[in-house]
Structure 1
Amino acid sequence: MTHNNQKYVCALLFGSATLTCTITAQADFMADSKGELEARNFYFNRDFRQQGARDKAEEWAQGVLLRLQSGYTPGTVGFGLDALGMVGVKLDSGDGTAGTGLLPADRSSGGSQDDYAKLGLTAKAKVSHTELKVGSLFFRDPVINSNDTRLLPQTFRGGLLTSQELDNFKFTGGHIDRIKANSSSDFTEMSANRIGGTSNSFNFGGGDYQVTPNLALSAHYGQLENVYQQYYGGLVHVLPIATGQSLKTDLRYASSREDGHFRDLDNQAFGSMFTYRFKAHAFGVGYQRMTGDDPFPYIAGSDPYLVNFIQIGDFANARERSWQLRYDYDFAAVGVPGLTFMSRYVSGDNVERTAGGEGKEWERNTDIGYVVQGGTLKNLGVKWRNATVRSNFGNDLDENRLIVSYTMPLW
């Protein structure tokens, strides 16, 4: 293990010990605390199928995540502390097969580093139903969304305020100044996917209103300072049809334009997903459309909140249209709880190619997962994720991911 990573691990242990001592000092602080340890084994293989491309990217790595969450001290204003320690270790990465995003790049060898570690500490305060967190953050929001699709999750640094003082209404707002990528130990400035530009300030805010038990509305705003502004509106409605049957409607719209004088920007993104659920089956149909002269902007390294953002592609090129068909099945219906299956297909067209003509692409995903429901191995999960991508303007890919994870509560 490198000297820098030793320092990270020492910091993790020190932070964990400090948190444990603090918890012991406050009974109320301890009562609501949680601790869990997750082991995550990740194999990633991506074959490049287009002419002239590299052969493949293939790596295997082991990750360990320690999550500690305190309760709150007593009083009108309660205080707490959370910690997230993460370590990633390379198990296999042959010559020329690095670049999967599981491990940091090793510039001296052109491959991947043997190991890396990172520590996130988050101070928090709570008054009534309003909570403020400051430090390392992992959260999901329509205009800024953390990514957890590799060995270790991507995190932000900043402040996050959530408030639920009003019935059926949740306010979320905050400020982010740095991002730490999945395969990095360091915080860096943020940039916008596809359109470039860097910034050390992302401001966001918005609300989610549960109008009825079956209808939710949301409105959010995000600003990557001096790069782009984004306005988002969404609707989710679940229509009960009969016992074991329902129709879910998920509508999303975002309008993005430039902020400051970085460059002109014009994008409107509309997305819709309709899911009919019949007992253990779910059938989904989705449509996504980009209008304007530019692709959909979002913070590079994070997840865009788009209905057709799937395993590899986001189908968010300028003026792109895309359709999705999806099927899910829960094997609990046939006596195998914990076993699930998903398959989907997305096809996009109307993309303006640099070389001229219409750009087209498609992607097919299949997920099979199983989580042990009881006994000694309870919470042991195995998931296989397969994807195929074909495009006349981008990469042709065949990809497989095998993820074995085990989460153990510490108390």
Structure 2
Amino acid sequence: MLKTPIARGVALATLGATLAIPTMAQAAFIEDTKASLELRNFYFNRDFRENLNTENSKAEEWAQGFLLNIESGYTEGPIGFGVDAMGFLGVKLDSGGGRTGSGLLPLGDSGKAGDDYSELGLTAKAKVSETVLKIGTLRPKNMAVSASDSRLLPQTFQGGQITSKDIAGLTLDAGYLSRMNDRNASGNRGMYWGGKPAAVGETAVAAGDADDFIFAGGSYKVTDDLTASYYYSNLEEVYKQHSTNLVHILPLGDKQSLKTDLRYARSSEDGSSNVDNKALGAMVTYSVSGHSFGLGYQKMGGDTGFAYLGGGADPFLVNYVQINDFGYADMKSWQARYDFNFASIGIPGLTFMTRYLTGDNVDRAAGESEGKLWERDMDIGYTFQEGALKNLNVKWRNATSRGNIARGNNVDENRLIVSYTIPLM
């Protein structure tokens, strides 16, 4: 039985919503309800390899997260109604002076990490055929906005979203967001800019008046192997963006395929923000048995870097990786990646990934050399397949970044994440 206050709060909120629905229509609502509790233990260490003119020479923290998710079914009838709930709690295990700023824990006015933080989110939903409307706490994942889940607790938004799959092969998606909750915060705040700055010599991006965020788009499965997507988005008073994506998977025989992922986004100013960016990206991945070999290329054009939401939201870029996104104005970057799934040699649950990225062609101040940046990443993960530890996942993420473009380019980083999800319903 769940004893934490946040778990009890979510359970009571969901029960209240259930009681508000006529009894005769509750069968599917209850039978299709799913609930789970994820226990996420996160150690983060980022060693700054340059003088940042702050007291921190590194960011090192350790925390425990509890992530309760409840998704109800729908009531019976032409229009089905339901409610989802989520309750998140983060608890400090270790932090200290000169080691804060990992993004795992909130930072108080005193400069010390908080002992804990939490969030309770409720979402009302309605369904007609294959069209679903959700209002409340959202975690959208699309080309226009992708809520981050790369720290202890996930990023969330407040607003409404409607998704339709009534036409075979076609998914339509639109939404309005008015507030966001950062990954290491308890309360919601207004929407804000998180993109890259203007090129040297260009007018700075004016993003202080950011307001509501809207998006609309969808994807269409042209053939069994080809999917085309388009999204329009607008962070009011900051930027407008048109994003397109083509993904083609070519079967090459037994356990072989060639995947091509092409992306293009055009961002322009809204209000007096000066946003002006063209982002082109391509990733080609050849897979055979448990091996995957990928090559990527990304190019920025225009007067500013790539435009996207703040709060840690994930930008839709092929070269967005553990530390960097390689989205600086005029930057050209390349990626080489290798993945191996050990299930192909009889060790299911064990995976490995490594990649190397390098970027250049960034203008710096007069008299300074060309801006360059590189990053090397490595992930090793294992999910226990049986026994008392079945479904326990352990992942080690290691990264090194070096560059001369911005403060904080030069870091060594390690993340150790242990997670276990308990199905409750």
Secondary structure of the residue aligned to 2:326 is coil
Cα distance change, pair 377–21 in 1 and its aligned pair in 2 (3 A)? farther
Q: Is the CA contact 1:23–1:70 (under 8 Å) kept in the aligned structure 2?
A: no
1:247 and 2:261 aligned: no
1:12 and 2:10 aligned: yes
Cα distance change, pair 155–52 in 1 and its aligned pair in 2 (3 A)? closer
Q: Distance in 1 between matches of 2:29 and 2:10?
A: 20
Q: Distance in 1 between matches of 2:21 and 2:365?
A: 58
Q: Is the CA contact 2:165–2:171 (under 8 Å) kept in the aligned structure 1?
A: yes
Q: Distance in 2 between matches of 1:8 and 1:278?
A: 46
Secondary structure of the residue aligned to 1:158 is strand
Q: Deviation at 1:50?
A: 1.4
Secondary structure of the residue aligned to 1:333 is helix
Q: Deviation at 1:385?
A: 0.3
- Of residues 345, 350, 356, the one that matches 2:361 is 350
Q: Deviation at 1:393?
A: 2.2
Secondary structure of the residue aligned to 1:404 is strand
Matches within 5 A, 1:32-181: 32-51=32-51, 54-108=56-110, 110-181=111-182
Cα distance change, pair 128–406 in 1 and its aligned pair in 2 (3 A)? same
Secondary structure of the residue aligned to 1:105 is coil
346-355 vs 363-372, greater mean Cα deviation: 346-355
Q: Is the CA contact 1:180–1:186 (under 8 Å) kept in the aligned structure 2?
A: yes
Q: Deviations over 1:203-247 (max 9, x none)?
A: 110020001111000111000111100001110000111111110
1:368 and 2:380 aligned: yes
Q: Deviation at 1:52?
A: 5.2
- The equivalent residue for 1:407 is 421
Q: Deviations over 1:284-325 (max 9, x none)?
A: 000000001110110012110100000010000000000000
1:232 and 2:243 aligned: yes
Q: Deviations over 1:270-289 (max 9, x none)?
A: 00000000110000000000
Q: Give the superposed CA RMSD.
A: 1.7
Q: Give ranges in structure 1 of 5+ residues lacking alignment.
A: 1-5
Secondary structure of the residue aligned to 2:189 is coil
Matches within 5 A, 1:370-389: 370-389=382-401
Amino acid at match of 1:315: F
Q: Is the CA contact 1:274–1:284 (under 8 Å) kept in the aligned structure 2?
A: yes
Q: Deviation at 1:169?
A: 0.3
Amino acid at match of 1:29: F
- The equivalent residue for 1:3 is none
Secondary structure of the residue aligned to 2:12 is helix
Q: Distance in 2 between matches of 1:17 and 1:43?
A: 35
Cα distance change, pair 95–287 in 1 and its aligned pair in 2 (3 A)? same
Q: Is the CA contact 2:6–2:88 (under 8 Å) kept in the aligned structure 1?
A: no
Q: Distance in 1 between matches of 2:118 and 2:8?
A: 10
- The equivalent residue for 2:299 is 289
Q: Is the CA contact 1:23–1:29 (under 8 Å) kept in the aligned structure 2?
A: no
Q: Which structure is higher in strand share?
A: 1
Amino acid at match of 1:60: W
Amino acid at match of 2:387: G
Q: Is the CA contact 2:331–2:361 (under 8 Å) kept in the aligned structure 1?
A: yes
Q: Give ranges in structure 2 of 5+ residues lacking alignment.
A: 197-204
121-130 vs 374-383, greater mean Cα deviation: 374-383
Q: Which aligned runs of 4 or more in structure 1 are off by greater than 4 angstroms?
A: 6-10, 19-25
- The equivalent residue for 2:201 is none
372-381 vs 42-51, greater mean Cα deviation: 372-381
- Of residues 318, 323, 334, the one that matches 1:312 is 323
Amino acid at match of 2:122: L
Secondary structure of the residue aligned to 2:92 is strand
Secondary structure of the residue aligned to 1:111 is coil
Q: Distance in 2 between matches of 1:65 and 1:20?
A: 21
Secondary structure of the residue aligned to 2:344 is helix
TM-score (norm 1): 0.95
Q: Is the CA contact 1:287–1:323 (under 8 Å) kept in the aligned structure 2?
A: yes
1:273 and 2:283 aligned: yes
Q: Distance in 2 between matches of 1:251 and 1:403?
A: 31
Q: Distance in 2 between matches of 1:401 and 1:104?
A: 18
Secondary structure of the residue aligned to 1:346 is strand
Q: Deviation at 1:192?
A: 1.5
Sequence identity percentage: 53
Amino acid at match of 2:97: D
Cα distance change, pair 174–315 in 1 and its aligned pair in 2 (3 A)? same
Q: Distance in 2 between matches of 1:410 and 1:173?
A: 31
Q: Distance in 1 between matches of 2:101 and 2:257?
A: 42
Q: Deviation at 1:21?
A: 5.4
Q: Is the CA contact 1:192–1:198 (under 8 Å) kept in the aligned structure 2?
A: no
Secondary structure of the residue aligned to 2:28 is helix
Count, aligned residues: 404
1:202 and 2:213 aligned: yes
Q: Is the CA contact 1:157–1:176 (under 8 Å) kept in the aligned structure 2?
A: yes
Q: Deviation at 1:398?
A: 0.2
Cα distance change, pair 198–62 in 1 and its aligned pair in 2 (3 A)? farther
